[in-house]
Amino acid sequence: MASIWIEQVDTALLKLIRSSIKVTDFSTGNKVNLSENSAIVRKPEDDYKISTYPSISVYNLYDRYNTYRSYYEPYPKIVSRDYEEKKVTMQEAKKCFDLMYQIDFWSKTQTHMNEMTLQWLDKFYPYHNLEAEDVSGERRNVMMLKKQGLGKADLLDGKERIFHSFITYNIAAEIDEQERYSQPMVTDIEIRSNEVNVLKKQ
């Protein structure tokens, strides 16, 4: 296994959004997937600079070390042994983290907002196994668990109303850079026993 961190979770969330959420195309009346520009990673400096509507943005709020999950693999592990060189190869234990994410829904119509939030809550609330690829390209499932329910923070852009809803999730991640190093290995054991004089009672 290898690390799953912010970039890997961002990619997995965007893929999930683009494949799962549909909105009405008012020109045809058909339901269509969100475009690539409508599923984005929101940067801290671009808090409300949304140019495409409707859209969904993802934002990593912060990370937190997870002591409970790390407890089950707290020590380095042995990868291989070299009996000729009398050395053992060790690999550092992985470090488990929780990534707090905010999922934001943006729309200029109540219809699109209702469509997006209804589908999201139906499919991914209160938890979901998010399919992600770690840094080595291996597919993994990571748990995303709801931390805060759907909230609203609508905006006024001049005379235009921007509908804005959001929800937060705790997503399991881990740092496992597979860092390895060599250590001396004990291969020969010599057991010595001292003579013990036992005094028997006469």
User: Above 60 in pLDDT, residue 195?
Assistant: no
pLDDT at 157: 74
- What are the structure tokens assigned to 65, written together? 């070390």
Question: Angle of helix 6-20 relative to helix 110-124, nearest 10 degrees?
Answer: 110
- What value does the mean pLDDT of the chain take? 86
pLDDT tier for residue 156 given thresholds of 50, 70 and 90: confident
Domain topology for 6-184: STM4215-like (3.30.2000)
State how far the alpha carbon of 43 is from the alpha carbons of 10, 62, 104, 114, 133, in Å.
Answer: 12, 13, 12, 25, 22
Element (H or E) spanning 106, and its range? strand 95-107
Q: What is the pLDDT of residues 111-125, one digit of tens each?
A: 999 999 999 999 999
Is residue 80's pLDDT more than 80?
no
Identify which has the larger pLDDT, 74 or 155.
155
User: Is the CB of residue 164 less than 8 Å from the CB of residue 108?
Assistant: no
pLDDT of residue 92: 72
Torsion sign across C-alpha atoms 50, 52, 54, 56 = negative
DSSP 8-state assignment for residue 38? G
| pLDDT digits 0-9 by tens, 126-153 | 999 999 999 999 999 999 999 999 999 9
Predicted confidence band of residue 200 (pLDDT cuts 50, 70, 90): very low
- 16 vs 78 pLDDT, higher one: 16
